[in-house]
Amino acid sequence: MREAVGTVTIRHVDVVDPSAGRVETDRQIRIVDGTITEVSADDMSALGADEIDGSTLHAIPGLIDCHVHVNAVTASLGTVSDMSPAYVTARASQILRGMLARGFTTVRDVGGADFGIAAATEEGLLAGPQIIFGGKALSQTGGHGDLRPAGRDIVDEHYALPVLGRIADGVSEVRRAARDEIRRGASHIKIMISGGCASPTDRVDSLQFSDDELRAIVDEAASANLYCAGHAYTADAVNRGLRLGIRTIEHGNLLDETSIALFLERNAYYVPTLTTYVAQMEDGKELGLDAGQLDKISSVVDQGFKALELADRAGVNIAFGTDLLGEMHARQSDEFALRSTVQSSQAILLSATVTAAALLRRESELGVITPGARADVVLTRGNPMADIAVLAQPASGIAHVIRRGVPS
């Protein structure tokens, strides 16, 4: 989506500031060429023909989901490699439109999206949020990104295949793979540092890649002024990743107090993804997950809430993420309701705005409604900082989504 050229003004609106924990009433937000240029008191004059009426509405920063896979068009991830890239993009376009309608104006793709689909959304060829992509996630042979069943030997390494990961073994191979993702425009490098639920041949509690391999990937990312995101479940995997320089931990359902200390010491970011486990437990069998995958999911689903509670209580940097697959993408906003069993509404809103923007290293551009920021604004029927249910039910809670100054 290209930014709007011209001026858009939102009038008579209450502006929510998640960081300060306050609401400024009767404000106007002026947008010029896709950038917020002014947030000021409204003079309460009559609306102009081209102005947006924000009466009775609250303005919040555009939402950010820090853990998505836009190419995960089916829950049976191993079959994506057999699909036409054109078909996957067509299916992904529906996923992206849904994300935008739910108020997500930026998403971080941590495996699968590439420069092509990111450019298509920015140019308006596909409707959807801005995609901050990391390319293909790096996996060892037999790791979480190796989706071959046990009886298959061949790996099709054609890069145009819309799969979520790539396999690399040994220090020289992982360096080459990281450099290649950086060459293709990755904003971060995703590493599978433990086993996972959707992969067919590994254990959730396995540690993946050697220390030397992980150091090499982290070093390559740092040399390009990028960072690494680590898929991990157990405390052993989480702690190892943090000690070796991983900046963001994805999932982390089985972390413990020792992990919390390392998060705080390293000023790292935690990205829980509660809704994907609930969705897969409820719908996974009919959507193609096998018994082994469902068993792995059942072993981590409840602990995810406990891990979030530990991190929230300790003041860890917590960002919003969902990690949904296929038809389950429709449950994206359920993450708000699930987190509300552990966190306050303000903390959850912070995770999807201010903290998420900091994770992306775009604090002054995203996650705020302030002059100079991108004109990503969501107008809600109610104050989500007081009651996050407003965002958990987007069909009734969201009135307008404005992305780069373009109202939906």
For the stretch 164-175, pLDDT in tens is 999 999 999 999
Mean pLDDT of 175-204: 91
Say how far apart CA 241 and CA 262 lie, in whole Å: 10
Query: Is 159 or 242 the better-scoring residue by pLDDT?
Result: 242
Close Cβ partners of 152 (under 8 Å, ≥ 6 residues apart): none
- Return the pLDDT at 307: 97
- Return the pLDDT at 148: 67
| Token pair 């971060």 in the structure block, residue | 188
Q: At what angle do helices 274-283 and 301-314 cross, to 10 degrees?
A: 170
3-state SS of the chain is: CCCCCCEEEEEEEEEEECCCCEEEEEEEEEEECCEEEEEEECCCCCCCCCCEECCCCEEEECEEEEEECCCCCCCCHHHHHHCCHHHHHHHHHHHHHHHHHCCEEEEEECCCCCHHHHHHHHCCCCCCCEEEECCCEEECCCCCCCCCCCCCCCCCCCCCCCCCEEECCCHHHHHHHHHHHHHCCCCCEEEECECCCCCCCCCCCCECCCHHHHHHHHHHHHHCCCCEEEEEEEHHHHHHHHHCCCCEEEEEEECCHHHHHHHHHHCCEEECCHHHHHHHHHHCCCCCCCHHHHHHHHCCHHHHHHHHHHHHHHCCEECCCCCCCHHHHHHCCHHHHHHCCCCCHHHHHHHCCHHHHHHCCCCCCCCCCCCCCECCEEEECCCCCCCCHHHHCHHHHEEEEEECCEEC
In terms of DSSP bridges, do strands 165-167 and 189-192 run parallel, antiparallel, or are they unpaired? Answer: unpaired
Say how far apart CA 193 and CA 241 lie, in whole Å: 7
How would residue 39 be classed by pLDDT, with cut points 50, 70 and 90? very high
Per residue in 256-300, pLDDT (tens digit) is 999 999 999 999 999 999 999 999 888 877 877 778 878 888 888
What is the per-residue burial (b if ≥16 Cβ within 10 Å, else e) of 33-42? ebbbeebeeb
Share of the chain above pLDDT 90, in %: 80
In terms of DSSP bridges, do strands 130-133 and 104-109 run parallel, antiparallel, or are they unpaired? Answer: parallel
Q: With 70 as the cut, is the pLDDT of residue 22 above it?
A: yes
How would residue 251 be classed by pLDDT, with cut points 50, 70 and 90? very high
Q: With 70 as the cut, is the pLDDT of residue 311 above it?
A: yes
Mean pLDDT of 332-353: 98
In terms of DSSP bridges, do strands 377-380 and 58-61 run parallel, antiparallel, or are they unpaired? Answer: antiparallel
How would residue 163 be classed by pLDDT, with cut points 50, 70 and 90? confident
- Return the pLDDT at 199: 74
- Return the pLDDT at 19: 95
Say what the pTM is: 0.95
In terms of DSSP bridges, do strands 377-380 and 398-403 run parallel, antiparallel, or are they unpaired? Answer: antiparallel
- Return the pLDDT at 2: 62
Mean pLDDT of 241-251: 98
- Return the pLDDT at 290: 78
Query: Is 302 or 50 the better-scoring residue by pLDDT?
Result: 302
Lowest mean pLDDT among 195-199, 203-207, 337-341, 404-408: 195-199
Q: With 90 as the cut, is the pLDDT of residue 49 above it?
A: no
How would residue 349 be classed by pLDDT, with cut points 50, 70 and 90? very high
As a whole number, the mean pLDDT across the chain is 94
Per residue in 372-395, pLDDT (tens digit) is 999 999 999 999 999 999 999 999
- Return the pLDDT at 378: 98
Distance set, CA 362 to CA 50, 214, 387 (Å)? 30, 26, 26
- Return the pLDDT at 167: 93
Q: With 80 as the cut, is the pLDDT of residue 94 above it?
A: yes
Share of the chain above pLDDT 70, in %: 98
- Return the pLDDT at 1: 55
- Return the pLDDT at 234: 95
